[in-house]
Amino acid sequence: MTDRSPSESPLDTAREALRAFPPALSQEFESAVSVVEPILEADEFGHWIETGLHVARHSLRSWEAASEYFRSSGPMLEQVTYDRMREWCDVGVGLMDTSPALAGALFRASPQVLPHLAVNQATDWAAQGQSLYKGTWKSGSLSAQYFDVSPNVLPHLPLSQMRLLVELIDSLASHSYELASACLGMAPNVLGQLERSDRAPFLEFGGIVAHTAWVDARVYFERGPVALHQVNPDQRGRYLGLAGQVALKVGRLGHPYFIESAQALSEVERDLHEGLLELAEQLAPHSGDAAMEFLKSSPRVVQRLSIDDIARWQEFGLNILQQSVDGGEAFFRLESTRGEEVMEALSSRVDLDRVSELIRMYCKALTGIDVGIKSSEELASKGVGWVDESSPTTEGTTIYLPDMVERYASKEDNFSVYKVFATHQAGRLEFGSFEYEQSRTPQVFEPAANGQSGGNGAAPPQNGDGEAPGEIHTDMERFFDRFGDRRLAHDIFTIIEDTRIDTIVKREYAGVRRALNRLQQAAAERRRPIENMPARQAMVENLLRASLDDAGNIRWPTELADQLRTPLRILNRIRHEGATVEDSAAATQLLYDWVAQVPNVELETDDWSEFEDHSMAGEQDEGDTDLMPGSGSSGLEESFMPFMPGSEERPYDSPEPVDFRGDFKPELVQLLMKLKGETGTGDAPPIPLTKEQLQELLEKSVEISINELMDMDLAESSGMFLDNLLKEVNSIQGDRPEGQQAMGDDSTGADDGDELPVEAKSFYYDEWDFRAADYKPRWCRVQEQRGEVGDVSYYRETLHAHAQLVQETRKQFEMLRPELFRKIKRLTDGEDYDLDAVIEWYTEKIAGATTETKLFYRRNKVERDVAVAFLLDVSASTDEEIQKHQDRRQDDQFDDDPRKYLSWWAQRRAEAARHPGKRIIDLEKEAVVLLIEALEAIGDKYGVYGFSGYGRDNVEFFVYKDMDEPFGDRTKERIDKIAPVRSTRMGPAIRHCIWKLQNTDAKVKILMLLSDGRPQDHGYGRDRTEKEYAIHDTKMALTEARREGMVPFALTVDRAGHDYLKQMCQDMAYEVVADIESLPRRLPALYRRLTG
């Protein structure tokens, strides 16, 4: 300690000076002195005091800053020398001129900031804080907040990157200080959640968000880190960079894209992120939307394509993008047909719904039965005994296949898997797996001794041969009744029957042999090791392996080789040509007797060797006599004795099923067939069956394990199962030729006879996106439903009201009735001479002129063969009264301003309610009535439909009269109920009409569209007011009709119709009926002109 004068010590002076300030400062000073004084040299101490006083005296409230200065001095000096601290604090003192509050905040934060910064960084640090200060109170507190959070931010962020945060906050502050402050407050926590390397990119992107969509900033701070965590850690920086690049282009959408794409990426394996991001980065310069849509679509794309193929797909899309941004974006949004096609072409996966029709025809060809093809999932969901959702199977009328196959790298190979699946199942139908009859004798086996076998079984007695009427037991069931262990018998029968089918398939269909071999081999390789199976199970497993034509895969103890040889011979005999399902049954009986005698215990031997199977090498087998158990080697059971360590019998487990063969439930199928009344033996009527009887039947069957069906208690689930089963039986009895309407496009069923409120049938149609110049695949769902039934009197009254007109049109139309023959003259050859021509010819000849020799005529038959579909616009606007409708035309601006339109509309409605007048729809209806009368006179085929709806998922399509439906009271009643509904999405309705016409046989097909305004619907265009999109789609739909050889004709009662009809129809015919009232007269006349 140096000497200092006691009276004039700086300390006393300071104490004196501090009295001028609030006492809190003095207290702070005193406690600081006690810490600081012992550490500092005298001159340092003096300087320290002076600095403090300087700060305190600076301005009115600067004592607060001084107080902070004093308080933080001690902690700072613990970390640095006074010289350093002085240097540091000078920066703070420098801030005094800006704002004492800032300086105070700086001093306050200093002790905690010091560990993170070098002293010479202080200036920079302070300058950043200072940059937030704009001289206002709010900016001051924000700036102060900066210093306050610095201790918490700096551990996460080097000072150099702090700038990013400050810029971000500064940018936000220009919009909202509250937001900026909130974000700044969140910063430490947010940054803490991020990896070190991600922080700068995070802030950079944040800066862009703050710039382009500042309101999203808070959400970004709240959810950004979580979103980012969904991305592969190595790729997050890259992702943020991409998001920033995109955000700069797309503005407000940037942040939602960031969140959504990250979400999408989370559904994709992380290893793929790098590749996907790279591809997205290539897109970003062309279109930010495309890049992000690409990422958003990636989960679905990844399911179908490998990363290399995705690159090819992206390249294709990129090409489109370069030509048309809209097209490219639709492509990556998966809303373009081309995108689908390219993906389909690149993907090796085969989807059932793409090939089901093909396979259905294939199976129909093979079996001659009207089989349907459905997804296995569907059968499983019926809950009638099948539970596996992915393996092929059949219940006798439909072949069920997995939804998709993606086993191999090429489409051809995957399709061949389907083909093998289908061929095997079709084989079961074609070669009679379900047609087992006890009374038929086997062809290659000796008929089994009729009676019980497997002496150990407690088989129930048989019912004899005479089948009582109403007999509910199936032959298959009775066959299994013979065996004590039903499961074992069923397993053996399955193996044998599958072997038989596979063998026949290979023999009959040489072309599938290769694919079948491949699947057999794959199945064989997947078998579980046999070595620790108990003996009986091992034997069954070996039989199954043998059935896969893979003898090399059979493992069996050498010592017991003899015990396996005969069973294998039995199995292989089923391969003989001419073997029937009865042979399979006979073989099952023989094999069962063998296998059941094999004790199901673990064998004590290590000698599981490959088994050499001679019988497969084409060795002659000699008769049945030695196929009986125990023959040859006496006492089957005894031969196992030496290998049994006296352990217990283990419960028998069925072998793992073979994938390409799928489920085989002959007993259940026979039962189902019987219930449906289609037994192989004849047309026995369906058998009514009580639930109890059914239950009894099913309880013993091993093909159903009820508890597998549902997680319920047994009684409940079995009850449910029975209900399902009965329902299934009844439903199939209801509509028998089920196969025809296998999937998707249902034909309009014949179920309209009894007018139950039929559920709407759904149809999907593409929609034309003119911006992308491509179709959006399966975009609209058309819901076809019957029109409501009203009263027949409307029709009668309309006819009455227009009696005169009806008369006229009828007459006109009757005149249209085709003359059957039309004479064509001047032909070189024909039926006969045309006398006029001959005379002329002869005269000229005599006169010496050379004349032509076209002297024949022919009568050509003209047949009128016209079908017409009328499509009525029943959108809400047809509710308008005619008078009003015309008024509206005078102030047409409503069409352009939807907001005004609404209030106007409400007003109109109110008025309309007061003065009900004739509405557009009434005239449409009248016109239809008249036309129907006319059409009935002429005999053309016709259908009357209406359409409306809301949104692409719900295009309502009403059938008032179908093409092939005869005209009757029903039609009249439905016409009564034609009523305005909702919007006008024309495209899909037209497409559905095209489909209807396609299924109608006629030479001339006409599609007549009757509307009252332009097409518009929710989502039918960029927004409700956009007209282009809807018009282009409608135009495309009409063009499609033309392409199909139909004659589209648009008719509108909208006087403003010319402008858009011209665009919609271009070179097609259309008409604007100016005088709406004349519609009923005009429509028939037009039709006549169109077809005359």
Partner 1 sequence: MTTAAEPITEYRSWAVEEFRLEEEPYYVPVQDEVDIFQSAWNNKIPVLLKGPTGCGKTRFIEYMAYHLNRPLAVVRDGKAEIETESNLPLVTVACHEDLTASDLVGRYLLEGNETVWIDGPLTRAVKAGAICYLDEVVEARKDTTVLIHPLTDHRRILPVEKKSQLLQARDGFLLVISFNPGYQSALKDLKQSTRQRFVAIEFDYPPRETEAEIVRHESGCDPDIALNLAKMAEKIRNLREHGLAEGASTRLLIYAGRMITQGVSPRRACQVSIVWPLTDDGEIQRSIEEVVSSIFEE
Which range in 210-218, 353-361, 464-472, 564-572 contacts partner 1 by CB under 8 A?
353-361
**Which residue type, as a one-letter code, is found at position 1017?**
D
Q: Whole-number minimum distance, CB 1004 to partner 1, in Å?
A: 16
Of the candidates 1022, 1021, 1031, the one whose C-alpha atom is nearest the C-alpha of residue 1054 is 1031
Closer Cβ to partner 1, 501 or 1065, answer by number: 501
Answer yes or no whether residue 998 interacts with partner 1 by CB under 8 A. no
Q: Which of 370, 406, 467, 559 binds partner 1 (CB under 8 A)?
A: 370
Answer yes or no whether residue 358 interacts with partner 1 by CB under 8 A. yes
In this structure, what DSSP letter does residue 462 have? P
Contact track, partner 1, 844-883, x by CB under 8 A? -x-------x-x--x-xx----------------------
Answer yes or no whether residue 368 interacts with partner 1 by CB under 8 A. yes
Closer Cβ to partner 1, 419 or 974, answer by number: 419
Which range in 155-163, 358-366, 551-559, 754-762 contacts partner 1 by CB under 8 A?
358-366
Contact between 919 and 1072 under an 8 Å Cβ cutoff? The reply is: no
Answer yes or no whether residue 367 interacts with partner 1 by CB under 8 A. yes
Q: Are strands 821-827 and 761-769 parallel, antiparallel or unpaired?
A: unpaired
Closer Cβ to partner 1, 9 or 740, answer by number: 740
Q: Whole-number minimum distance, CB 392 to partner 1, in Å?
A: 16
Of the candidates 65, 140, 53, the one whose C-alpha atom is nearest the C-alpha of residue 108 is 65
Q: What is the C-alpha to C-alpha distance for residues 263 and 266, in angstroms, rounded to an integer?
A: 5
The C-alpha angle 347, 351, 353, rounded to 5 degrees, equals: 140
Answer yes or no whether residue 357 interacts with partner 1 by CB under 8 A. yes
Q: What is the C-alpha to C-alpha distance for residues 596 and 654, in angstroms, rounded to an integer?
A: 13
Which range in 354-362, 795-803, 868-876, 961-969 contacts partner 1 by CB under 8 A?
354-362
Answer yes or no whether residue 514 interacts with partner 1 by CB under 8 A. yes
Answer yes or no whether residue 365 interacts with partner 1 by CB under 8 A. yes
Q: Which of 308, 833, 936, 1069 binds partner 1 (CB under 8 A)?
A: 833
Q: Whole-number minimum distance, CB 357 to partner 1, in Å?
A: 6
Q: Whole-number minimum distance, CB 764 to partner 1, in Å?
A: 18
Q: What is the C-alpha to C-alpha distance for residues 800 and 571, in angstroms, rounded to an integer?
A: 81
- Rounded to 10°, the helix 10-18/23-36 angle is 160
Which H helix or E strand runs over 510?
Answer: none
- Sign of the torsion angle spanned by Cα atoms 294, 298, 304, 307: positive
Answer yes or no whether residue 315 interacts with partner 1 by CB under 8 A. no
Closer Cβ to partner 1, 357 or 471, answer by number: 357
Q: Which of 269, 612, 649, 832 binds partner 1 (CB under 8 A)?
A: 832
Of the candidates 1031, 1019, 1021, the one whose C-alpha atom is nearest the C-alpha of residue 990 is 1031
Q: What is the C-alpha to C-alpha distance for residues 698 and 675, in angstroms, rounded to an integer?
A: 13
Which range in 41-49, 359-367, 773-781, 921-929 contacts partner 1 by CB under 8 A?
359-367
Answer yes or no whether residue 366 interacts with partner 1 by CB under 8 A. yes
Q: What is the C-alpha to C-alpha distance for residues 169 and 152, in angstroms, rounded to an integer?
A: 16
In this structure, what DSSP letter does residue 740 have? G
Closer Cβ to partner 1, 246 or 512, answer by number: 512
Closer Cβ to partner 1, 325 or 358, answer by number: 358
Distances (CA, A) of 461 to 451, 484, 521, 679: 9, 12, 42, 23
- Sign of the torsion angle spanned by Cα atoms 742, 746, 752, 757: positive
Q: Whole-number minimum distance, CB 513 to partner 1, in Å?
A: 7
Residues 706-745 contacting partner 1, CB under 8 A: 740
Contact between 393 and 425 under an 8 Å Cβ cutoff? The reply is: yes
Q: What is the C-alpha to C-alpha distance for residues 404 and 101, in angstroms, rounded to an integer?
A: 70
Q: Which of 233, 511, 749, 1092 binds partner 1 (CB under 8 A)?
A: 511
Closer Cβ to partner 1, 68 or 340, answer by number: 340
Contact between 662 and 386 under an 8 Å Cβ cutoff? The reply is: no
How crowded is residue 273: how many other Cβ atoms within 10 Å of its Cβ? 23
Chain centre distance of CA 160: 48
Answer yes or no whether residue 401 interacts with partner 1 by CB under 8 A. no
Which range in 212-220, 826-834, 893-901, 1028-1036 contacts partner 1 by CB under 8 A?
826-834
Closer Cβ to partner 1, 363 or 1030, answer by number: 363
Chain centre distance of CA 1019: 20
Which range in 510-518, 611-619, 726-734, 916-924 contacts partner 1 by CB under 8 A?
510-518
Answer yes or no whether residue 30 interacts with partner 1 by CB under 8 A. no
Closer Cβ to partner 1, 408 or 904, answer by number: 408
Q: Are strands 1046-1052 and 1069-1072 parallel, antiparallel or unpaired?
A: parallel
Q: Residues near 483 by Cβ (< 8 Å), separated by ≥ 6? A: 453, 454, 457, 459, 489, 592, 596
Which H helix or E strand runs over 1071?
Answer: strand 1069-1072
The C-alpha angle 884, 885, 887, rounded to 5 degrees, equals: 60
Answer yes or no whether residue 910 interacts with partner 1 by CB under 8 A. no
Q: Which of 378, 508, 550, 624 binds partner 1 (CB under 8 A)?
A: 508
Q: Whole-number minimum distance, CB 238 to partner 1, in Å?
A: 45
Closer Cβ to partner 1, 219 or 1004, answer by number: 1004
In this structure, what DSSP letter does residue 885 have? H
Contact between 61 and 96 under an 8 Å Cβ cutoff? The reply is: no
Q: How big is the site for partner 1, counted in residues (CB under 8 A)?
A: 34
Closer Cβ to partner 1, 364 or 996, answer by number: 364
Answer yes or no whether residue 691 interacts with partner 1 by CB under 8 A. no
Answer yes or no whether residue 749 interacts with partner 1 by CB under 8 A. no
The C-alpha angle 219, 223, 226, rounded to 5 degrees, equals: 170
Answer yes or no whether residue 362 interacts with partner 1 by CB under 8 A. yes
Closer Cβ to partner 1, 436 or 660, answer by number: 660
Which range in 107-115, 502-510, 548-556, 904-912 contacts partner 1 by CB under 8 A?
502-510
Site for partner 1, rule CB under 8 A: 357-362, 364-368, 370, 419, 423, 508-514, 740, 831-833, 838, 842, 845, 853, 855, 858, 860-861, 1001
